[in-house]
């Protein structure tokens, strides 16, 4: 860290963080509000959390969301890792630039467009919309995030490790499973975390691709908010924030540790 | 007839026409796109030989090694190992092991697991495997480090683990890519002798890639000096050093002085050339002397010249000049002499005694003398 903590620095940090986190802090605080009125503080209570667990609609939505996130993150991790390996390992295959661009395009594509195009596809092939369409859509857009994370690790991976494994008697695929994968595993895990979190958060794409009986939690929250914000919603949001924050934190820590190990080497 | 160099060698299968080569490169060419890494190269290496590929970076030496290990396929030509063609044989099926320049130790495995990796892959049962691993750890003196991870070892220790892992499967041929490149000078010198002992002890054939000529000279039975995908010269260290076949080899190995001129006269053992530094007579390399008037180069090593203050008598060659630079290295002193032609010649003196009467200093005019057999006349 160079430079000192001047008043200017401190003020900008405080203002910046207030701007970013005040709404969230308010939401968390009001989730513990006694009163039904969202904006009037009437004392501390956890009753909305209790009531939340009685609300079957929200529980169902949460269960759908978690299943979608688990499946889509896992599939996206496998596919994203494979894409990253292909991108790093075979630097001169035909159409590499196009392939790279195609893998990364969803990163910058507006979600509305991704959602709409997927919807059109599902309608065109007459795929009944519901749980699986949401899952497929989430695999599609989180795959590229996994690929980016894994690729950045693979770039610094010493290819002679894999050659050494082959030299000692491993066929290429075994060499990958026994040496490469264990070494890049922290990156794969943080890729999975990222995909899981993204899927948990997503509203736009899910709204486009979901069907009856497959309402995700963000969709549920959004539809309830239109009828008026209740402290119950604040409670759900607080739990979501906790899950997402811990996911991001774990991914960051894994990344840090892996980088430190790397530096150490 | 005196021989080249100061070592008597009894192991010389390359001079025996009946000996069968163990590794044979037959007209091997390797291209990467437009770049020719190895150019129509043929080479024989014999069993139990310690063979070095020496050259500057980009000369194709590592490519040659990687083709033998199976990581690259020759574009043209074929490689034979013990009489069998290696064409299309993938790396994991070749009876060859390699020690990588980066060591390539598996960071997620302990030292013992690293060494056991290849044995496990071969399906060796646990008891025999553990025994072999213990034996290898003993061989490289790392018994106490079996449970450590590679990142908890020093550079020298990692190098030993890499070596133990590569020889654990008892390959008949071990390939070493710059095996000592990452070690500091002192450790490197110690390890050179350890490698030689190991090679003797296990009776292996070693093929080593290096850009360090001292390393190659110390360890090898024979050296191939490479230049831009071809072999410039193959020979024992003494042949390469004392009888280089070209200016490239003379210049690449050790320090050398090269003076240019044209052939003035010759007989069956010596050639006289005449250039900016007057007439110089040197030994003829090979059997046929170049024609009078042809361009030729006289090459001589710094230690083959005598330094004197007065004009030497009864010598084949003498050069006079001004001391341009002088450096004291401890075991010897190096003098750069600027001749009247402007050429700078390097001479070295072994410091046999600690006390020197009236030593030589800067800006003095001194003489260098040498016999006709100390230097060579080269045609290219």
B374: domain CATH number?
A: 2.40.50.140
d(CA B237, CA B7): 10
Q: Are A163 and B92 an interchain contact pair (Cβ–Cβ within 8 Å)?
A: no
Q: Which of B185, B212, B247 is the last residue of a domain?
A: B247
Domain match, B56 and B155 both:
yes
d(CA A206, CA A224): 16
Rounding to the nearest 10 degrees, give the CA dihedral for residues A238, A244, A245, A248: 180
Q: Which residues of B touch A183 (CB under 8 A)?
A: 106-108
Chain B within 8 Å of A179 (Cβ-Cβ)? yes
Non-local (6+) Cβ contacts of A157 within 8 A are A88, A180, A183, A184
B229: domain CATH number?
A: 3.40.50.300
Q: What is the pLDDT of residues B314-358, one digit of tens each?
A: 888 888 888 888 889 989 999 898 888 888 889 998 888 888 888
- Smallest CA-to-CA distance from A87 within A160, A144, A167 is with A144
Number of H helices, E strands in chain B: 8, 20
Domain match, B72 and B161 both:
yes
Which residue of A lies nearest to B162 if distances are taken between CA atoms?
A164
Number of domains in chain B: 2
Q: Are A158 and B117 an interchain contact pair (Cβ–Cβ within 8 Å)?
A: no
pLDDT: which is higher, A81 or A94: A81
Q: Which residues of B touch A165 (CB under 8 A)?
A: 106, 117
Contact A224, A235 (CB under 8 A): no
Q: Which residues of B touch A175 (CB under 8 A)?
A: 92
d(CA A26, CA A17): 13
Q: How many CA atoms lie within 13 A of B136 on its CB side?
A: 27
Q: Which residues of A touch B106 (CB under 8 A)?
A: 161, 164-165, 179, 183
Specify the pLDDT at position A228: 76
**Which two structure tokens, joined as six digits, stand for B182?**
């990452």
d(CA B282, CA B272): 6
Top-level class of domain A55-264: mainly alpha
Domain match, B228 and B316 both:
no
Whether B64 is in a domain gets the answer: yes
- Smallest CA-to-CA distance from B28 within B44, B14, B39, B17 is with B39
% chain B with pLDDT above 90? 7
Q: How far is A96 from chain B (nearest CA, A)?
A: 17
Specify the pLDDT at position A126: 87
- Residue B219, pLDDT > 80, answer yes
| Cβ burial, residue A222 (10 Å; 0-12/13-18/19+) | middle
- ipTM comes to 0.77
Q: Which of B221, B247, B273 is the last residue of a domain?
A: B247
Whether B189 is in a domain gets the answer: yes
Facing A166 at nearest CB: one of B91, B106, B108: B91
Instruction: Give the pairing type, strands B317-328 and B278-284.
Output: unpaired
Q: What is the mean pLDDT of residues B109-131?
A: 88
Whether B149 is in a domain gets the answer: yes
Q: What is the pLDDT of residues B36-80, one digit of tens each?
A: 888 888 889 998 898 999 988 888 888 999 999 989 888 888 999
Domain match, B286 and B189 both:
no
d(CA A125, CA A234): 39
Whether B45 is in a domain gets the answer: yes
Which residue of B lies nearest to A171 if distances are taken between CA atoms?
B92
Q: Give the pTM.
A: 0.76
Least confident of A251-255, B223-227, B307-311: A251-255
Residue in A164, A174, A189 to test binding to B, most B beta-carbons within 10 Å: A164
Q: How far is A265 from chain B (nearest CA, A)?
A: 6
pLDDT band, residue A2 (cuts 50/70/90): low
Domain match, B150 and B222 both:
yes
User: Which range marks the domain in which residue B290 is found?
Assistant: 255-378
Domain match, B166 and B232 both:
yes
Beta strands in chain B (DSSP E): 23-32, 35-45, 50-54, 76-81, 84-85, 96-99, 173-177, 205-210, 222-227, 230-235, 257-266, 270-275, 278-284, 295-300, 306-308, 317-328, 332-339, 344-350, 365-370, 376-378
Q: What is the mean pLDDT of residues A176-198?
A: 89
Q: Where in chain A are the domains?
A: 8-45, 55-264
Domain match, B108 and B40 both:
yes
Average model confidence (pLDDT) across chain B: 86
Specify the pLDDT at position A93: 66
Whether B1 is in a domain gets the answer: no
Domain match, B39 and B144 both:
yes
Q: How far is A262 from chain B (nearest CA, A)?
A: 10
Total CB pairs under 8 A between chain A and B: 62
């Amino acid at each position: 860290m160079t430079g000192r903590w001047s008043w200017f620095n401190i003020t900008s940090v405080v203002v910046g963080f207030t701007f970013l986190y005040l709404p969230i802090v308010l939401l968390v605080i009001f989730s513990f509000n006694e009163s039904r009125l969202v904006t009037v503080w009437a004392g501390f209570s956890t009753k909305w959390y209790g009531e939340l667990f009685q609300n079957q609609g929200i529980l169902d939505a949460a269960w759908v969301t978690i299943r979608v996130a688990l499946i889509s993150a896992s599939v996206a991790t496998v596919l994203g890792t494979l894409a990253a390996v292909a991108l790093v390992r075979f630097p001169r295959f035909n159409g590499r630039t196009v392939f790279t661009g195609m893998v990364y395009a969803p990163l910058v594509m507006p979600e509305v467009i991704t959602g709409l195009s997927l919807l059109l596809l599902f309608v065109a092939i007459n795929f009944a919309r519901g749980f699986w369409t949401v899952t497929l859509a989430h695999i599609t857009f989180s795959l590229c995030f996994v690929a980016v994370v894994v690729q950045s690790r693979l770039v610094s991976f010493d290819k002679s490790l894999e050659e050494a494994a082959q030299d000692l008697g491993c066929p290429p695929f075994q060499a990958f499973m026994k040496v490469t994968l264990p070494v890049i595993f922290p990156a794969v895990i943080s890729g999975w975390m990222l995909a899981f979190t993204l899927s948990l958060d997503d509203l736009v794409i899910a709204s486009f691709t979901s069907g009856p009986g497959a309402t995700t939690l963000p969709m549920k929250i959004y539809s309830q908010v239109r009828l008026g914000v209740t402290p119950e919603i604040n409670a759900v949001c607080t739990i979501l924030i906790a899950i997402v924050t811990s996911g991001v934190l774990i991914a960051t820590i894994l990344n840090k540790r892996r980088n430190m190990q790397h530096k150490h080497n | 007839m005196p021989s080249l160099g100061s070592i008597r060698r009894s192991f010389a299968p390359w001079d025996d026409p009946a000996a069968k080569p163990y590794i044979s490169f037959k007209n091997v060419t390797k291209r990467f796109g437009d770049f020719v890494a190895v150019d129509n190269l043929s080479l024989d290496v014999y069993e139990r030989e310690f063979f070095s590929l020496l050259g500057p970076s980009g000369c194709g030496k590592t490519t040659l090694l990687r083709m033998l290990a199976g990581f690259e396929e020759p574009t043209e030509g074929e490689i034979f190992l013990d009489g069998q063609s290696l064409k299309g044989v993938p790396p994991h099926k070749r009876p060859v092991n390699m020690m990588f320049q980066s060591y390539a130790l598996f960071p997620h495995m302990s030292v013992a697991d690293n060494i056991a990796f290849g044995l496990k892959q071969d399906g060796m049962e646990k008891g025999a495997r553990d025994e072999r691993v213990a034996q290898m750890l003993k061989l490289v003196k790392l018994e106490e480090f079996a449970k450590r991870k590679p990142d908890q070892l020093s550079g020298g220790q990692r190098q030993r683990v890499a070596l133990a892992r590569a020889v654990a499967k008892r390959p008949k041929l071990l390939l070493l890519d710059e095996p000592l490149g990452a070690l500091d000078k002192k450790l490197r010198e110690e390890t050179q002798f350890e490698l030689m002992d190991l090679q003797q002890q296990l009776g292996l054939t070693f093929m080593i890639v290096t850009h360090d000529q001292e390393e190659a000279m110390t360890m090898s039975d024979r050296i191939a000096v490479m230049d831009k995908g071809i072999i410039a010269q193959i020979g024992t260290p003494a042949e390469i050093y004392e009888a280089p076949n070209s200016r490239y080899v003379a210049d690449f190995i050790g320090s050398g002085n090269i003076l240019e001129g044209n052939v003035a006269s010759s007989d069956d053992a010596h050639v006289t050339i005449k250039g900016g530094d007057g007439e110089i007579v040197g030994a003829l390399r090979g059997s046929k002397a170049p024609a009078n008037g042809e361009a030729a180069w006289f090459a001589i090593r710094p230690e083959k010249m005598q330094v004197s203050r007065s004009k030497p008598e009864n010598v084949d060659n003498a050069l006079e000049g001004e001391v341009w630079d002088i450096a004291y290295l401890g075991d010897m002193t190096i003098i750069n002499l600027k001749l009247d032609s402007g050429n700078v010649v390097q001479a070295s003196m072994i410091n046999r005694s600690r006390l020197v009467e009236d030593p030589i200093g800067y800006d003095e005019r001194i003489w260098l003398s040498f016999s006709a057999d100390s230097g060579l006349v080269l045609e290219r």
